[in-house]
Amino acid sequence: MARHNPIAGRNPISGHGAFWLNEPTDYTQHGKLPRETPAAPRPAVPGPLSITAATLDPELLDLPWHVALEDWQARNLAALPRGLSRHIVRFARLGNTVIAVKETTEHVARHEYHMLRKLRRLDAPCVEPLAVVTGRTAADGTPLAPALVTRHLKYSLPYRALFSQKLRRETLTRLIDAQALLLVRLHLVGFYWGDVSLSNTLFRRDAEAFAAYLVDAETGELYPELSAGQREYDLEIAQVNIAGELMDLMEAGLIEDAVDPVATSEQILDAYRGLWAELTRQDKLDVGERWRIDERIRRLNGLGFDVEEISLLATPDGTQLVLQPKVVDAGHHQRRLLRLTGLDVEERQARRLLNDIDAFRARRHPEADEDLAAALWVEEIFQRITRAIPKDLQGKLEPAQIVHEVLEHRWYISERRGANVPLAETVASYVENVLRHRRDEAAIMLDPPAAGLTDPPDRD
Ranges 169-178, 231-240, 367-376, most confident: 231-240
Average pLDDT over residues 398-412: 92
| Residue-level pLDDT at 303 | 77
Q: Which tens digits make up the pLDDT trace of 63-73?
A: 999 999 999 98
Interval 254-277: pLDDT, tens: 887 788 899 999 999 999 998 898
Q: Is the pLDDT of residue 213 over 60?
A: yes
pLDDT for residue 293 is more than 80: no
Q: Which amino acid is at 48?
A: P
Find the mean pLDDT for residues 287-294. Answer: 70
What pLDDT score does 375 carry?
A: 94
Q: Give the start-to-end residue ranges of the domains of the chain.
A: 9-152, 157-278, 282-330, 333-437
Q: Can you give the pLDDT at residue 39?
A: 42
pLDDT at residue 37 above 50? no
pTM over 0.85: no
The closest alpha carbon to 193, from 233, 158, 234, 156, belongs to 234
Which pLDDT does position 308 carry in this prediction? 63
Q: Summarize the confidence of residues 439-457 as an average pLDDT.
A: 42
pLDDT in tens, 38-57: 444 444 444 588 999 988 88
Q: What is the rounded distance in angstroms from the CA atom of residue 399 to the CA atom of residue 343?
A: 10
CA angle 387, 393, 395 (to 5 degrees): 95
**Type of residue numbered 432:** E
Confidence of residue 1 (pLDDT cuts 50, 70, 90): very low
Q: State the average pLDDT over residues 184-193.
A: 95
The whole-angstrom separation of Cα 426 and Cα 65 is: 50
Distance of alpha carbon 269 from alpha carbon 246, whole angstroms: 16
- Judged by average pLDDT, the poorest of 118-132, 200-214, 358-372, 437-451 is 437-451
- Asked whether the beta carbons of 20 and 6 are under 8 A apart, the reply is no
Other CB atoms within a 10 A radius of the CB of residue 274 amount to 12
Contact (Cβ atoms closer than 8 angstroms) between residue 46 and residue 66: yes
Q: Is 101 helix (H, G, I), strand (E, B) or coil?
A: strand
Q: Which residue has the higher pLDDT, 285 or 15?
A: 285
Q: Considering just the CA atoms, what is the radius of gyration of the chain in Å?
A: 26
In this prediction, residue 13 has a pLDDT band, given cuts at 50, 70 and 90, of very low
The superfamily CATH assigns to domain 157-278 is Transferase(Phosphotransferase) domain 1 (1.10.510.10)
Count Cα atoms within 13 angstroms, Cβ side, for 310.
15
Q: Which residues pair with 415 in a beta bridge?
A: none
CB 212 within 8 A of CB 125: yes
Q: What is the structure's pLDDT at 166?
A: 63
Alpha-carbon torsion (180, 186, 190, 192), positive or negative: negative
- By CB neighbour count within 10 A (0-12 exposed, 13-18 middle, 19+ buried), where does 83 fall? buried
Give Cβ neighbours of residue 360 (< 8 Å, ≥ 6 apart): 373, 376, 377, 380, 381
> Can you give the pLDDT at residue 310?
67
